[in-house]
Chain A
Amino acid sequence: MENKETGIDASFIPRILAFFCSWCSYTGSDGAGTARLKMPPTTTLIRTMCSGRIDPYFLIVAFFRGADGVWVSGCHPGDCHYNKGNYFTRRRYAFLTTMFDSLGLETKRLLLSWISASEGHKFQHMTTEFTNRIQELGPNKARTSVFL
């Protein structure tokens, strides 16, 4: 049901798929849980040892199989548990958003963040912000495409 003023579909609950590195980001998100921080329950986390494990293909699969938002998070550059994994993550993500942009696909549905193990609040904040952003964008059209 679309709100006539804002155009936002209030019955639409964003589904966000997030790929988080185990050492920093996932631990940080865990911290948010322990501290009972409140945030919309829209994000499903997939844990990889390093954000450098994340193949841009995962993000493409997530997007076209219908995730409304796709989120990658790792350790801050310079702090990667495996020294350089996240430098590649940064390159791959930059490449993917550029690719999406040139293909007219909504880059706002992609997010890259650096969340450390102690940044539970950052995780809470970003989950809320990203959810709101996706809420405004509405459901991903790829959710209902036939010829993909």
Chain B
Amino acid sequence: MAQHTFAHINKGYDETITFLLKHMLDTGRVEAVFCLVRGEDNSVSYSLISDADQLENAVPFFPAMPGNAGKALSRFTMKGASPAPVAAVLRPCELRAFVEIVKREQGSRENMILISSTCGGVYPLRDVTENDNEDVIRKYNGNLSARTTESMTRDACRICEKFEPVGADITFYIAGKTELESSCQIMVSGENMKEIASAAGFTADGDGKKGEEIEEIRKNRHITREQYYSTQPMDQPGVEGLMEILGKCVGCRGCSNVCPICYCETCFFRTAKAEHTNFLSIKEIEKRGAIKLPPLLTLFHLGRMTHMAHSCVGCGMCSDVCPVRIPVGPLFQKVGEAADLLFDYEPGRNIEELPPLSTFQIEELETYGE
């Protein structure tokens, strides 16, 4: 069990994280740093930074998610563990995704220093690609301090109750806090991190602990989540409801492309087996009157659910990229949540814990099977 220590810092969280990353690079404690960077053209993307000077473009907690960073880190460590320490700044869902990916042997956590924060959400992808995003940052701190979900514009974030990271080495507690420009609280886990933190000049706060804002935020997110799922067609879709939600799918597979858990180089749903060409017969067309083409995309979605919904971390990248605005994320979350309840599983909580469909117990699920 990692020992947690809190520290209170008299600098804004933005300044603090950049300072910490620079310190780690300068002192050689890490070979490189992985975080969001704002280019000259104002576009925001992830970068692996090895030169501390480049940190002046770093915007680690920028409210955008141009991809799930867990997936990017998996790419980084796919062919082997990082040979040297690298510090990465991730959102809680990205961290959970990385844990789920590492469980599937598609990456390695070794030598990674993972830094995260309590999350106030990000803006929809389409909203942060404007030329001038100065406004975005200014507005964001106000939204971050809020404990309600009113100011949140991205559905996946508004309904997210897992905004407190689990398993990070350093956690910034910023959501729901005030005076974000002049102070922040961090939690450091493990002796190794304590050493780094004190080398950076942070002093441990002996009485430190989590604030009550966490519970308040979680309560509000829960209410929003319930409300979301009680509206049609999300509430008990049935066959007809599913047609409403998924009927406009064009079959681009963008959702699975960006999904951090979907790692298969050759997705089953792109193979000939998944094409069901014998489905398109006169008999079937007469029976139904008409068949939407490309056919049977519902099978793709439901099939993908059986592959990864139990590990869905709710990052919402799928919804962000869907060209026809299908709420893929919330749909997969709904199924994932039910599955996780069944197996008492939580994606990302424990890197040693096997995904529920990869294991079994001899005595369990007695009510199943007649």
Contact = CB atoms under 8 A, between A and B. Distances in A.
B369 A114 contact: yes
Interface stretch (A8-16, A27-35, A38-46, A57-65): A57-65
A69 to B, nearest CB: 13
Contacts of B341: 98
A88 B239 CA distance: 27
A38 to B, nearest CB: 20
A114 B370 contact: yes
A85 to B, nearest CB: 10
B180 to A, nearest CB: 37
A91 interface: yes
Contacts of B302: 60, 64, 99, 103
Contacts of A113: 369-370
A137 interface: no
A95 B242 CA distance: 18
Contacts of A145: 239-240, 243, 288
A1 interface: no
Contact of A84 (B235, B296, B357, B360): B360
Interface string A62-88: 001110000000000110000010011
Contacts of A105: 237-239, 242
B201 to A, nearest CB: 49
Nearest to A125: B370
A96 B357 CA distance: 11
B335 A99 contact: yes
A96 B370 contact: no
Given A84-B360, A146-B291, A148-B243, A91 B365 contact: yes
Nearest to A51: B369
B189 interface: no
B368 A112 contact: yes
A20 interface: no
Interface residues on B, range: 35 or more
Contacts of B338: 98-99, 101-102
Interface string B292-326: 10011111001101100110000000000000000
Nearest to B340: A98
Contacts of A65: 276, 279, 296
Interface string B331-352: 0001101110111000000000
Contact of A144 (B235, B288, B296): B288
B362 interface: yes
A57 B241 contact: no
B243 A91 contact: no
Contacts of B290: 146
Interface residues on A, range: 35 or more
Most buried by B among A66, A91, A143: A91
A111 interface: yes
B243 A147 contact: yes
Contacts of B305: 99
A90 B268 CA distance: 23
A88 B360 contact: yes
A146 B297 CA distance: 11
B133 interface: no
Interface in A89-148: 90-99, 101-106, 111-114, 126, 140-148
Contacts of B298: 64, 148
B306 A146 contact: no
23 contacts: A57-B303, A64-B302, A84-B360, A90-B360, A90-B364, A90-B368, A99-B338, A102-B337, A104-B236, A104-B237, A105-B237, A112-B368, A113-B370, A114-B369, A126-B370, A141-B238, A141-B240, A146-B243, A146-B290, A147-B247, A148-B242, A148-B243, A148-B297
Interface of A: 55-57, 60-61, 64-66, 77-78, 84, 87-88, 90-99, 101-106, 111-114, 126, 140-148
| The 5 nearest A-B residue pairs measured at CB | A104-B236, A147-B247, A87-B360, A102-B338, A104-B238
Interface of B: 235-243, 246-247, 268, 276, 279, 287-292, 295-299, 302-303, 305-306, 309-310, 334-335, 337-339, 341-343, 356-357, 360-362, 364-365, 368-370
